[in-house]
Copies of this chain bind each other. A is one copy, B any other.
Amino acid sequence: MQIRTSLIFAGLSLALSVVSPAAHAQSRLATTQIRSASFASSKIGISPDRNVSIYLPAGYANSSKRFPVIYYLGYFFEDHSAPFANNDAKALFDRAIADRTIGDVIVVAADFSTPVGSSWYVNSPATGNWEDFMVRELVPHIDGNYRTLATRESRGLLGDGTGGYGAIRFAMLHPDMFGSVYAMQPFGTGPSIQPTHSRPDFDLLARAKSMDELEGFSRIFTSIYQAFSPNAERGPLYFDPPARRVDGRTVVDAPVMARFHERFGLMGLLPTYADNLKRLRGFKFDWGRQDPIADHIAGAQIFSNRLVEFGVPHEGEEHSGGFRDRHWGSEGRVQTDVLPFFARHLVFHAD
């Protein structure tokens, strides 16, 4: 790192001599709220006022230029502020732009969490229309209120876990809107080794009087089932369970399970949307070999292989890290892989 720093200083001193005024500009982290129409039908208490964080690079203030945008999609329970509050993302973006790892870029993070974890970024009669919120409200709002390069080529998606799922799914369904995708440790990729029905406690799901009683996998799978096996008539949890407990054994309801998987897994969506993914300028995802949940690894490997089967160019990289322990920091993958990826694949200037 010592060396690189010296390179950077060399670069900075050159920059200073030519464009010194710009060097004094500061990046800015703004927070705003959008009044949304997408959650009127939600059964789980989602506020129509949605919080959004917006990172504006140092170059934004003193110019009239337009900039590309990276939409950051968060992990379970993460709100709009998480990368900035927990991972010092503002300073990391500042440094990466200063050392030319990436050009000036806007980063937007909105709150896609629900009381039991994640919206999974989809429309659902149980949870509300999160996909609509993204593509009909958030992106237009950002393009309408900031100097963005409002084309797919200059619009990237970066997701983490559930957000990685959302990023790939948005790329499948809205190819005219997004041109590059990086998903860190995406969930919901391919088939699992351990059955999904081994994770939640179906006795608890059957007797729970409210979402507050849920915890661990039961809580997380409630968010999954509300998104992909929803039933707006079936409170208090508002989903059709793909399995139930009978005499101490788990019994699978195969037709419900079939519908659930038809909607959920990215591998299942792939045949329909492969051609849309082929239009991406850049498509990468990664995961850690030391993840203690073997299915995160197996699913991602199978999904990557399936992308090859359907001829979809991409990079699926398995690193030596554990579960979500390599994302941030000066040696993290946002620094070493994600930003160089967007530097290569986003368009940073109007034609």
Where the two chains meet, the residues of A that have a C-beta atom closer than 8 Å to any C-beta of B are 1-8, 11-12, 14-19, 99-100, 103, 190-198, 243, 250-252, 254-255, 257-258, 261-262, 267, 271-272, 274-275, 278, 289-290, 292, 294, 301-302, 304-311, 314-320, 330-331, 336, 340, 343-344, 346-349
Contact = CB atoms under 8 A, between A and B. Distances in A.
Contact of A274 (B2, B192, B254, B262): B254
A8 to B, nearest CB: 5
Contacts of A320: 304, 307-308, 314-317
A244 to B, nearest CB: 11
Nearest to A348: B3
A310 B3 contact: no
Given A12-B15, A271-B257, A317-B318, A7 B100 contact: yes
A144 to B, nearest CB: 24
B331 A1 contact: yes
A4 B343 contact: yes
Contacts of A3: 103, 343-344, 346-349
5 contacts: A193-B289, A194-B290, A194-B305, A195-B290, A243-B311
A interface, over-half SS: helix
A311 B15 contact: no
Contact of A278 (B190, B254, B290): B254
Given A5-B99, A15-B14, A320-B315, A289 B262 contact: no
Q: Which 3 A-B pairs have the closest CB atoms?
A: A252-B311, A258-B271, A294-B294
Contacts of A301: 289
B344 A1 contact: yes
Given A11-B14, A191-B302, 12 more contacts: A1-B331, A2-B347, A3-B348, A8-B99, A100-B100, A190-B191, A194-B305, A195-B305, A243-B311, A252-B309, A258-B272, A289-B305
A33 B262 CA distance: 44
Contact of A271 (B194, B254, B309, B314): B254
B344 A193 contact: no
A316 to B, nearest CB: 5
Contacts of A198: 292
Contacts of A305: 191-195, 289-290
Among A2, A16, A255, find the residue whose CB has the most chain B CB atoms closer than 10 A. A2
Among A4, A320, A349, find the residue whose CB has the most chain B CB atoms closer than 10 A. A320
A88 to B, nearest CB: 14
